[in-house]
Amino acid sequence: MLPGMGTIRLREDQPLDLSLTLSCGQAFRWEEREGWWEGVVGDRLWRLRQEGDRLTYDGPTARALGSYLALDEDLPAILASVDRDPVIHRAIGACRGLRILRQDPWEILISFICATNTNIPRIRRMIATLAQTFGDRVPDTPHPYSSFPTPESLADSGRDQLAACRLGYREGSVAGAAARVAENPAILPGIAKLPLDEARSTLLSFRGVGPKAADCILLFGYHRLESFPVDVWIRRIMYSQYLKPLPGARVPSEKEDRRIRAFGRAHFGACAGYAQEYLFGARESLIP
DNA sequence: AGCCAGGTCTGCG
DNA sequence: CGCAGACATGGC
């Protein structure tokens, strides 16, 4: 792994908090080991560390790394565009340098099918087990790492092996998505070309993908920054800081979640997804 | 034991 | 449409 080692000097006006970015719940396969963040991107192991404005890497090219971390994106300008009230202002201050990654849509699709009604540590375990069981071992690494499984490898998997990954009721959805993507490899790249509402409804046609997962896949897998995923935490934050349920409305409910989503998009604008991620990142300090 | 976790689906009115 | 309950699993 000699090729692909180097250091990037981060610009002072383009902040990055590598640890927060890799651990905030948008990616599930990064591990901190002996001062380095280690993760498999594509079929290679990437090792990253940040010391102030120095970003040292081993594995990617500088170009691939910059794209993955969205270092080409003007973060202060994005944050200025969503910085419209004291609550988000506080979250922006708390999560300075958090960036939304550019990740593989297939991996994100499966990850957020797995992410329904569970917690982040368990999502990480499910994804790790899937990779260990169905991915390819990355050669020549001190610690065992595997690539994320291909659609084919998951689709062709024996049910007993898949069951051993302990996905619970998500298992059938994962198998179904794998079969569909293996059968129609153009479907995920095709979504990137669609207008947001059509992209969203295509994602919703996958079993196991509802409104929340679809918005996460759009935000994290397709970098559609206007997506505003509403999960339990965002719901709590929005109800405690921004809006009250309509009189007589049941909460939680899909109808109320639609209101929250519409409010988020209208209030924060074209990069509402960044606002969502900063609120999520600062969630512990934003709920009563 | 019971509730919660980055929800979604089904069956019913 | 809109609502209730079910759904696997694991931690607290």
pLDDT at A3: 58
Name the pLDDT band for A2 (thresholds 50, 70, 90): low
* Nearest residue to C2 via alpha carbon and C1': A255
Task: In whole angstroms, give the CA distance from residue A117 to residue A114.
Answer: 9
Nucleotide nearest residue A169, measured CA to C1': C8
* A159 beta carbon to strand C: under 7 Å: no
* A120 beta carbon to strand B: under 7 Å: yes
Q: Between the CA of A147 and the C1' of C11, what is the distance in angstroms?
A: 28
Nucleotide nearest residue A170, measured CA to C1': C8
Phi, psi of A104 (to 5 degrees): -75, 125
pLDDT at A157: 85
User: Which residues of A in 2-31 have their CB below 7 Å from strand C's atoms?
Assistant: none
pLDDT at A255 over 60: yes
Looking at every residue in chain A, the average pLDDT score rounds to: 96
Q: How do residues A121-163 score in pLDDT, each as one tens digit?
A: 999 999 999 999 999 999 999 999 999 999 999 998 888 999 9
* A119 beta carbon to strand C: under 7 Å: yes
| Nucleotides of strand C within 7 Å of the protein's CB atoms | 1-4, 7-11
Q: What is the mean pLDDT of residues A7-13?
A: 96
pLDDT at A1 over 70: no
Q: Is A193 a catalytic residue?
A: no
Nucleotide nearest residue A273, measured CA to C1': B6
Q: What angle do CA A52, A58, A62 make, to 5 degrees?
A: 75
Q: Between the CA of A3 and the C1' of B9, what is the distance in angstroms?
A: 48
* A19 beta carbon to strand B: under 7 Å: no
Q: Between the CA of A28 and the C1' of C11, what is the distance in angstroms?
A: 19
Could you tell me what percent of chain A has a pLDDT over 70? 99
pLDDT at A4: 81
Nucleotide nearest residue A254, measured CA to C1': C2
pLDDT at A218: 98
A147-151, A157-161, A173-177, A282-286: the lowest-pLDDT one: A157-161
Q: What is the mean pLDDT of residues A91-103?
A: 98
Task: In whole angstroms, give the CA distance from residue A198 to residue A150.
Answer: 25
* A118 beta carbon to strand C: under 7 Å: yes
Contacts 24+ apart (CB under 8 A), A126-130: A126/A165, A126/A166, A126/A167, A126/A170, A127/A28, A127/A29, A128/A28, A128/A29, A129/A164, A129/A165, A129/A166, A130/A154, A130/A165, A130/A167, A130/A174
Task: In whole angstroms, give the CA distance from residue A31 to residue A90.
Answer: 28
Report which of A270, A231, A262, A227 is spatially closest to residue A246, judged by C-alpha positions: A262
Q: Between the CA of A121 and the C1' of B5, what is the distance in angstroms?
A: 10
Pairing of strands A54-58, A5-9: antiparallel
Q: How do residues A189-238 score in pLDDT, each as one tens digit?
A: 999 999 999 999 999 999 999 999 999 999 999 999 999 999 999 999 99
Residue A174 CA, chain-centre distance (Å), reads: 17
Nucleotide nearest residue A168, measured CA to C1': C8
